[in-house]
Structure 1
Amino acid sequence: MVPSCHWLFQKASIRMVSNIMSTQQHSIQFNSKSFSFGRHETFALRFGWLTKGFQGLTINPDIFLDEDATVHLGVGKNMVSSIRYWMLATKIAEIKGSHIEASEIGHLIFSETGWDPYLEDEATIWLLHWLLASNSQHATAVYWFFNHFHKSEFSSDEMFGGMKEFVGERLEGKKVADSSLKHDCNILTRLYVPSQGDKRTPVEDALDSPLSTLGLMNKSELSNRYVSKPDGRWDIPLGVIGYAIGELFEASDQSSVAIEAIVHGTESMPGLGSTFRITEECLVSKIEELITWVPGVFELRESAGIYLLYQLEEMLPIEFLNMHYKAYEMEIAA
């Protein structure tokens, strides 16, 4: 069968990614000198914003500096800045000099021939969550919450206290205004908690973020608290798991990574168990499925009571996603 133009484009894009990987700094590693709080203009990410921002950016590279950006994007002035921020936070765009450009992963997802420009596949939302929660540089609060805040039930005050403690301990004496931290705590709940349909809530605040569909944080039914705990999340696609593990291997630059590090992360690296709020049992099962799905790439071994995942053959993280979306496209076409 002759490949479609869509998949020829994807393969060409993946080769282009391969050519630049060696010159890119691994952005999933925590850097205490590079962080960001309160840049979202108090707006949570909304459905359509990344698509709208990407399309605008590819038509006009200076769209976010354009005086007519509000007209072209169809949003208010502060929302223009917020869209720009969320594109950086989800790694759909990256800073180049004095402006931003669509990233490789941005092109692969959101271009006209991209994998899923309108977020129709839930895998894309899981992927965006990983890209956001592993981005300590531009989404420090989200990175902190999923990788360093381990209370399964908490109040807004406890979340604020934990974030403030993290800033004091990990950001080398840098000070962040309490107001910025409180805004980020509020944004975290609006990103991940489905709206309750309260009539007193302003319409704009009740618009759910795409990330709220993942069930990673919920309002407690018994009190004014929040719940975010590990669960058996069997529906996370293998392509997304493979992409995240592939990024861990690239960032560690090692041929093996301890399962404990993959699950819980380290001081400088995100963990899949923490980020996806997935139980260790479920995650290990997903890794075993991944080993079967891509034969010859990974292998689980046990040494002195420590379980390690070995990478036997180099495979770009992007290629796991390509496998998923190719299967998804065939499923939709069937």
Structure 2
Amino acid sequence: MQTEILNTDGHIVQGRLGRHETFTPRYGWLKKGYDAVIQDGNVFKASDAIERLGVGKNMVSSIRFWCQAFKLIEPAHNGCMVPTELGRRLLDDNGWDPFLEDVASLWLLHWQLFVPRLEAVSWTLAFNKCNLWSFDIKQLTKVIFSAAQKYPSFKTISENSFERDASCIIRMYADVPLEKESEIECPFTQLGIIRKAEEKNSVCFDTTEKQNLPPLIFAAACFSYIDSYVSAKQRTISLHRLTYDFNSPGVVFKVPESAVGSYLYTAARELNGISLIETTGSLQLYFDGEPRALYWDALQKYYDGVVRR
């Protein structure tokens, strides 16, 4: 069922700042956290959580945060954590990709950070508001801190908190040499969303078509976007909106409008009930059925194809 459609500010106001404890998501963490919740929904509150998860105290909190931000677990009415439908389909032992060996699964998880409720608001602010050609941690901090000042709930939060988020964002996606030998590479660097810039100690968003982003995963993100941010009665949407609007797939995946069209043309050959039609000089995505159902159909079609291959 479609959640209540809010305006841009409404989604941000309902969101929260990241509670990642400065850690980017690490290999194995999401499966570890998901499996622990399957065994005990109160595992993150347990006195022996450190021993059960085999990590330090701050890492326990970080695993919980990332599992929740990626929409793999969610709090139940009684306060304990339970797996989401995405968590079950993706990370169950017999799920689509329990060990996240397919880069497509990382694209899918990256998308979840921008699906309401926004558990990591700084990611939304960075991807939507940072138009700098290149930037470092300090410059990205100023962008997201400045954007957050519009909202009373974030005005009381120190700039240092936003700097920790800016640092985490860059370390999460930038495929650049690690600053510390002890730091572990983040799997999301494979996405190629942020790359090293020409300026010293700076990075930039890579806004070219992403060759390792499967069209069906992109199409699924489009239907998730429509489900979250567009009227439930709407059965058409412009490629321009899918490319440039707040938390749209084009913004989140950092791809141009030409790539949006290319991904969707390819996906339309494999999915029933969707088509691209040119109307008054602009391309429109037409679709039959509920966006949420099309989202799951696209994901199932993709992972079924992986099994066949």
Aligned residues: percent identity?
26
Task: Find the counterpart in structure 1 of residue 259 from structure 2.
Answer: 282
Task: Find the counterpart in structure 2 of residue 302 from structure 1.
Answer: 279
Unmatched 5+ stretches in structure 2: none
Measured in 1, the distance between the counterparts of 2:157 and 2:36 equals 32
- The alignment of Structure 1 onto Structure 2 pairs a total of residues equal to 302
Determine which of 22, 26, 38 is the counterpart of 1:46: 26
> Within the alignment, does 1:316 sit opposite 2:294 as a pair?
yes
Q: Secondary structure, in 3 states, of the residue corresponding to 2:20?
A: coil
TM-score w.r.t. the length of structure 1 is: 0.84
Measured in 2, the distance between the counterparts of 1:301 and 1:154 equals 37
Q: Deviations over 1:132-170 (max 9, x none)?
A: 244562011112222232223112222111101110125
Task: Find the counterpart in structure 2 of residue 243 from structure 1.
Answer: 220
RMSD: 2.1
Task: Find the counterpart in structure 2 of residue 92 from structure 1.
Answer: 72
Q: Secondary structure, in 3 states, of the residue corresponding to 1:94?
A: strand
- The 8 Å contact of residues 300 and 310 in structure 1, kept in 2 or not, is answered as yes
Measured in 2, the distance between the counterparts of 1:159 and 1:180 equals 12
Moved more, 49-58 or 188-197: 188-197
Q: 1:27 to 1:321 in 2, by over 3 A?
A: farther
The Cα shift of 1:296 comes to 3.0
The Cα shift of 1:306 comes to 3.8
> Within the alignment, does 1:117 sit opposite 2:98 as a pair?
yes
The Cα shift of 1:219 comes to 2.6
Q: 1:259 to 1:218 in 2, by over 3 A?
A: same
Q: Which aligned pairs between 1:204-283 and structure 2 lie closer than 5 A? A: 205=183, 207-251=184-228, 252=230, 253=232, 254-266=234-246, 270-283=247-260
Measured in 2, the distance between the counterparts of 1:64 and 1:37 equals 19
Q: Aligned letter for 1:181?
A: F
The Cα shift of 1:172 comes to 6.5
Q: 1:235 to 1:182 in 2, by over 3 A?
A: same
The Cα shift of 1:235 comes to 2.7
The Cα shift of 1:239 comes to 2.1
> Within the alignment, does 1:186 sit opposite 2:167 as a pair?
yes
Measured in 1, the distance between the counterparts of 2:196 and 2:298 equals 34
Measured in 1, the distance between the counterparts of 2:87 and 2:36 equals 13
The Cα shift of 1:84 comes to 0.4
Q: Deviations over 1:275-327 (max 9, x none)?
A: 11112212211111122221432332313x34322213444311111110011
Q: Deviations over 1:243-262 (max 9, x none)?
A: 11111222312111121110
